[in-house]
Amino acid sequence: MPMRLRRALYPADWETIAGAIKTAAGWRCEQCGHPHEPAAGYTLTVHHIDGNPGNNAPENLVALCQRCHLGLHGKKCWVGQVMFEFFKPRWLLQHERSALHKSEDQ
Ligand SMILES: [Zn+2]
Ligand SMILES: [Zn+2]
């Protein structure tokens, strides 16, 4: 999908949503724990766990530094909505647990 089309899927308040996720993560990468430090190449970004930019539920979002984020996308563990068959980082397990609890509460 061209970048322009993907961009269109982001909600207008994406910056606000992304900011809240980064704040909740303490402005640290949830993968490697490195703090947000753009000058050192560790700009904090927000990743969609299911790969769908239209799904902005908090349990679908994770704060990652640009290095981990690029590494993640470069690993090509994504097969449609199925991801990380052999690589489940700690933050993903936490997100899965919180998503589980959420569905239990409903
Ligand atoms: Zn990182
Ligand atoms: Zn991503």
Q: Identify which has the larger pLDDT, 89 or 41.
A: 41
7 CA to centre of ligand 2 in angstroms:
13
Using an 8 Å Cβ cutoff, are 63 and 46 in contact? Answer: yes
Counting ligands in written order, the one closest to the CA of 47 is: 2
Domain count, the chain: 1
Token pair for 48: 């969609």
52 CA to centre of ligand 2 in angstroms:
9
Using an 8 Å Cβ cutoff, are 35 and 42 in contact? Answer: yes
Burial class, 40, CB count within 10 angstroms (exposed 0-12 / middle 13-18 / buried 19+): exposed
Using an 8 Å Cβ cutoff, are 34 and 42 in contact? Answer: yes
* Domain limits for position 90: 3-105
Q: Which of 54, 40, 99, 50 is nearest to 78 (CA)?
A: 50
Residues of the chain with pLDDT > 70, as a percent, come to: 71
pLDDT digits 0-9 by tens, 32-62? 999 999 999 999 999 998 888 889 998 899 9
Q: Taking the model in full, what pTM does it have?
A: 0.68
